[in-house]
Each structure stands twice: as C-alpha cells, then as structure tokens.
Amino acid sequence: MKLVAINKHCRKLKDLSVEMPNAPYSNRCQQAEMNELLELNRKFLTKSYLWMSGILTSGFSIFLYFFHSEITVNWIFIIYSLTLIVLPLFVLSAWISDWFRKRKYKEQILNNKPYSELKNIGFTRKTIKPNHNSLIDYVQFAKINDCELIFDIDIMNPKIAEFQIYGYTNLNNSEFTEKFKELKSNNIDISYFGFSKMINTKKEKFNSIQELEQTLREFTHIVKKIKYDPIPIKEWKKI
C-alpha cells in the first residue's frame, strides 16, 4: 500500500464498496490503518507488554514477600490485575493513540497544497521510522540535489512540516554551537545525526510545489556547506 497519503488508500477501498456494501467507508479506512499498525509493530507491542507486566509484577511480588501479612487477599488480586493487565494495556493504548494521532496530523498537511503534490518532486518512496514512543510508521522520502530528504512531523508541533536529512555531523563542540545558532535563523535544526528544515504550514505559504521544491533545494545547499557524512535511507519494500 502506498503511503503518499492514507486517503489515497481509502479511495481505493471506496472503489471496493460495491463488493463490500455493508462495510462503512470510514471503518474500512480505520481497519486498513490498524492492519498497518500491527504489521509494523506487532512484535514491539508484544515485547513491551511482556516487559512492562513482568517488571511491575516482579516489583510487587518482591514487596509482597516482605509485607504479605499486611495485605488482604482482595488487594493482592486487585494489584496483580493492575500489574499484569490494566497498567501495561493502558500504556500501550496511549502509545497506539499517539500513533494514530500523528497520522491524522500528517494527513491534515498532506491533504492541502502544495504538500498534496509532494510526489511531483520525488516523494514517491517510503521507509520506516520510529515515533517518539518507538512505534514505527511509514514516512515518505525523496532525493533532491543529491540529498535524501524525509518528510515527517513532530506530534508536539503538528502544524510544522519537517524535512530531514540524516548524516553524522563532523563538528567539534564550538563549531556545532556556532552552526546551531546560525541555522536557527533559517528554521533549520542541527543535531549530531542530521538536519531538519522546519516549515510552519499555517504561516509559511507556497504558491506552488515548485516554490516548496526551491526552498528544499536551498536547504540542501546550506547543508552541503557543513561537514557531514550522509546516512543512506533504505527504501521499505514489503516482502
């Protein structure tokens, strides 16, 4: 499934409505997203659940060993229910909610021009990238001016479109601090693992996709003047 935009996938599902007349269109979109969530994160979610429940239950068991005489059977049952089931599932539910929320924010940007035309400037490939809570999702990327750029957003700043270039910056501490201040004026963040061009989609308007492309080219020109070793991006392909 293409991830140029999830609504593109939903349109494909809509075309199947004749074959699936009883399945609501929005529900099929949600099911498609859930399938992708599990396809990408099933193992991580399972391991995280087992790890959290194991740590919490072990901690309570140690406490119970020393203070079992002070706790009633009912409370023991309640606390074990919390450590084994309720608390781990609550945390995982919050992570999953953030995963869907980030997709929603990204689609709000991708449904408006010029971002809906990103594929016209090469954003036709996809890779996978971890979110802030380590759940992974698809992201689009393209090569512009011999630099590979990823399109993404930060869930804490959902109106900001981020175009990222991965690479190890070969700067000492003083050089890094100087470049950090210098690039900040161009809405570019620098880290030891790459660069991010930040675009406020509510304030910075582009009349066409070509204008956005020119901004990204200027971004690559700035980055190329800085010492860094590019990190190649591996295209995701379903096996």
User: CATH number for the domain including 219?
Assistant: 3.30.1460
Q: Let me know whether 126 and 179 are in one domain.
A: yes
Predicted TM-score (pTM) above 0.85: no
Does residue 26 belong to any structural domain of this protein? yes
- Could you read off the pLDDT of 8-65 as tens digits, one per residue? 444 443 443 334 444 454 566 778 888 889 999 999 999 999 999 999 999 988 888 7
Q: Mean pLDDT, to the nearest integer, of 173-190?
A: 87
pLDDT of residue 3: 38
User: Percentage of the chain surpassing pLDDT 90?
Assistant: 50
Q: Let me know whether 161 and 196 are in one domain.
A: yes
Whether the CB-CB separation of 136 and 130 falls below 8 Å is answered with yes
Q: Let me know whether 141 and 220 are in one domain.
A: yes
Q: For residues 37 and 227, what is the distance between their CA atoms, to the nearest angstrom?
A: 37
Q: Let me know whether 64 and 81 are in one domain.
A: yes
Whether the CB-CB separation of 9 and 32 falls below 8 Å is answered with yes
Does residue 57 belong to any structural domain of this protein? yes
Q: Let me know whether 120 and 101 are in one domain.
A: no
The helix-helix angle for 25-67 and 73-81 (nearest 10°) equals 140
pLDDT of residue 21: 44
- Domain ranges, residue 29: 6-108
pLDDT tops 80 at residue 201 = yes
- From 75, 108, 141, the end of a domain falls on 108
pLDDT of residue 27: 65
pLDDT of residue 181: 87
Does residue 205 belong to any structural domain of this protein? yes
Does residue 171 belong to any structural domain of this protein? yes
Q: Let me know whether 203 and 119 are in one domain.
A: yes
Total Cβ atoms within 10 A of residue 132: 11
Q: Let me know whether 131 and 225 are in one domain.
A: yes
Q: Let me know whether 138 and 226 are in one domain.
A: yes
Select from 16, 234, 30 the least CA-distant residue to 138: 234
Total Cβ atoms within 10 A of residue 8: 14
pLDDT of residue 70: 76
Does residue 13 belong to any structural domain of this protein? yes
User: Percentage of the chain surpassing pLDDT 70?
Assistant: 87
Q: Let me know whether 92 and 119 are in one domain.
A: no
Q: For residues 217 and 230, what is the distance between their CA atoms, to the nearest angstrom?
A: 16
- From 81, 108, 135, the end of a domain falls on 108
- Could you read off the pLDDT of 106-124 as tens digits, one per residue? 999 999 999 999 999 999 9
Instruction: Tell me the three state secondary structure of residue 158.
Output: strand
Q: How many structural domains are present in the chain?
A: 2
pLDDT of residue 237: 66
Q: How far is CA 79 from the centre of its chain?
A: 34
CA distances from 203 to 3, 86, 108 (A): 26, 43, 15
pLDDT of residue 176: 86
More confident: 76 or 94? 94
Does residue 236 belong to any structural domain of this protein? no
More confident: 71 or 106? 106
Tokens matching residue 141: 């990327």
pLDDT tops 50 at residue 168 = yes
- Taking every pair of Cα atoms in the chain, the longest distance, rounded to a whole number of angstroms, is 73
pLDDT of residue 76: 84
Tokens matching residue 53: 């429940």
Does residue 1 belong to any structural domain of this protein? no
Q: Let me know whether 121 and 99 are in one domain.
A: no
pLDDT of residue 20: 40
Does residue 63 belong to any structural domain of this protein? yes
- From 108, 135, 156, the end of a domain falls on 108
